[in-house]
Structure 1
Amino acid sequence: MSVEIDHSGKVALVTGSGAGIGREIACWMAQAGASVAVNDVRGDTAKQTVALIADEGGTAKAFVADLRDDAAIDQLVADAETWGGRLDIAVNNVGMMAGRSPTRFVDMDGAFWRDLVDQNLILTALCARAEALVMMEQGGGVIINVSSGETTRPSPMMSSYAAAKAAINHLTWSMAVELGPHNIRVNAIAPGTTPTELIREAFPADHYEAIVAATPLRRETLPEELGRLSVYLASDLARCTTGQLILADAGAFLSRTRPPNLGQDASEEAP
């Protein structure tokens, strides 16, 4: 007996898929046979992802949109559905540090908090709303929200980001309950420390290596591993799985309860 995942005939939308985790998720969805709507705020990176998919014989189209604009979210989902004729899978990957650097809690002002909450929680919620409306009309679908391993432990210097992502976990549970009767499954995936360009820029090399070394597996999470996990969760192999937060963090949740000092003077750390 063989077990295969085949998304042929399905249409997937992956937000923020011009690079990093989103790109790998889009490419893996295409490898599994899905037609992929590739969204990014930058046209050049979105087209690069489309080209990578095309080189492997897959089908994809770039949809350039800045999802910080509410109207752009609705238009993106409508355009993706028009292009593919339906929307079976949606991966809400957009959301990061909103151009902010790791910062002490006491130095985060209102603008800092609003940026992080808006570009993580609210943006994910509005994308999911638009996607769910389409899926309800067609009789079902799968939504995957990208959360973070930072939601499972204290997150010094990143408290606003972690809090906004933790809210996505709760949003996922609530969505799963409300949308389940419409045959829509909703799950969240939580990456561990992942070597994306933004992460490498945010953390000094020694801090990054210390974080990785603190995991039970002594390794980082690769973007392609999030791609594989997303392909599985969108498949019938996971048809009884909804409302779950799936950690892909090299076991950091089990042991890295207190991340290394990230920019603070050691004397400022709590005992």
Structure 2
Amino acid sequence: MLNFNFSGKNVLITGASRGIGKAVATAFAQAGARVALHYHQQTKAAERVHQSLVGEGHILVQADLANPVAVEQMVNQAIAQLGHIDVLVNNAGIYQEHPLKEISYEDWQATWQQTISVNLLGAVNVSYCVAQQMIERHNGRIINVTSRGAFKGEPRATAYAASKAGLNAFSQSLALHLAPHNIFVTAVAPGWVATDMSQAILESPAGEAIRQQSPLNRVANPQEVAHTILFLASEGAEMLTGAILDVNGASYLRS
């Protein structure tokens, strides 16, 4: 069994107030890391996560990831308080349904703009700001949380699927660019995960069909995604740079 040890490491996690981000923060803290928990509007939820973490030195940082200026300020704050960032986990994202034949042109444009601004450009800009100091230190890990939807498609949320596909391509391109600087970039593409956001649909009549998409007859829990992320951030996983790991219980297979 792998023994993750991140003592002395500093980790910045975006979207850490709930769901996968919360599980990732909890796992890194339990493994000895100091964690910077990013949030946007969920102040109380982020504070509860912060208070629940074992260890000392964890911090909260706030920013609207759709705002490039706020992103730079948030990263600078995290670096100022922690000293440096060893691991970046770009987890924050939004999901909005906007089926083409049911939505106005104006709402279509607005949803696409917001989704791309947060899910893709937000992660791109956080990566830029964090990578600058990683290059200076000649060390770092960047792990992007994408989605099965980037491969399978999201007919009612086309912007979401496109944003995650873009993040996959960005991850691979960045892995090539940063490898000479001893910085390793990977992506994790979960399928359905049992979080607060998915609870309603998983408990609805549609939930059983969703679980049956996997031969395991269940969806992932956030801790399983977190475990994969810690593995990618751990020593010995360097040769996985550029990889996109599916965490979907064989609900969607690709080769």
TM-score by length of 1: 0.86
Question: What residue is the counterpart of 2:70 in the other structure?
Answer: 72
In structure 2, distance between residues paired with 1:136 and 1:210: 46
**Distance in 2 separating the partners of 1:232 and 1:62:** 24
Q: Deviation digits for residues 222-262 of structure 1, max 9, x if unmatched?
A: 1111111111110112122101111111111139xxxxxxx
Q: Does 1:44 align with 2:39?
A: no
The residue aligned with 1:88 is 86
Match of 2:142 in 1: 143
Letter matched to residue 50 of structure 1: H
Structure 1 stretch 31-40 or stretch 191-200: which is displaced more?
A: 191-200
Matched residue of 1:135: which SS? helix
Letter in 2 for 1:253: Y
The Cα offsets for residues 17-62 of structure 1, whole Å up to 9 and x where unpaired, read as 0111100001101111110001111321211111110xx3354111
Letter of the structure 2 residue corresponding to residue 87 of structure 1: I
1:237 is paired with a residue whose SS is coil
**Partner amino acid for 1:60?**
H
The 3 A distance-change label for structure 1 pair 179 and 153 is same
> Taking structure 1 as reference, are residues 196 and 202 closer, same or farther at Cα in structure 2, changes over 3 Å only?
same
Partner secondary structure for residue 76 of structure 2: helix
1:138-217 matches, within 5 Å, as 138-201=137-200, 205-217=204-216
User: SS where residue 254 of structure 1 aligns?
Assistant: coil
Task: Report the alpha carbon displacement of residue 201 of structure 1 after superposing the two structures with TM.
Answer: 4.6
Contact persistence 1:193–1:249 (CA under 8 A): yes
CA distance in 2, matches of 1:75, 1:206: 44
Alpha-carbon distance in structure 1 between the residues aligned to 2:23 and 2:60: 15
Residue 100 of structure 2: aligned partner: 105
Give the Cα separation in 2 of the matches to 1:129 and 1:224.
27
1:197 Cα offset (Å): 1.9
Equivalent residue number for residue 33 of structure 1: 32
Change (3 A) 1:190 1:80: same
What code does the residue aligned with 1:24 have? A
Q: Describe how 1:248-267 pairs up with structure 2 within 5 A.
A: 248-254=247-253
Give 1:83 deviation, angstroms.
1.2
Contact 1:46 1:63 in 2 (8 A): no
CA distance 1:189–1:141, change in 2 (3 Å): same
Residues 191-229 of structure 1: CA distance to partner in whole angstroms, max 9, x if unpaired?
110122222356771223311212122110111111111
RMSD: 1.8
Gaps of 5+ in 2: none
Letter in 2 for 1:16: G
Residue 157 (structure 1) shift: 1.2
Q: Could you tell me how far 1:103 is from its partner in structure 2?
A: 3.3
Quick one: distance in 2 between partners of 1:67 and 1:12? 17
Cα distance, 1:203–1:220 mapped onto 2, change above 3 Å: closer
Residue deviations 1:53-98 (CA, integer Å, cap 9, x gap): 0xx335411112222221111111111111111110000011121x
After the TM superposition, which segments of 4 or more aligned residues of structure 1 sit over 6 Å from their partners?
none
Residues 231 and 245 of structure 1: is their aligned pair in 2 closer, same or farther, counting only changes over 3 Å?
same
- Using the size of structure 2 for normalisation, the TM-score is 0.92
Cα contact 1:217–1:250 (8 A) shared by 2: yes
- Aligned mates of 2:68, 2:202 — CA distance in 1: 31
Alignment-mate amino acid for residue 231 of structure 1: L
Distance in 2 (alpha carbons) for counterparts of 1:203 and 1:157: 17
Query: Using a 3 Å threshold, how does the CA distance of structure 1 residues 219 and 182 change in structure 2: closer, same or farther?
Result: same
Deviations 1:87-120 (A, max 9, x none): 10000011121xx3x3323345211211221121
- The size of the alignment, in residue pairs, is 249
Secondary structure of the corresponding residue to residue 58 of structure 2 = strand
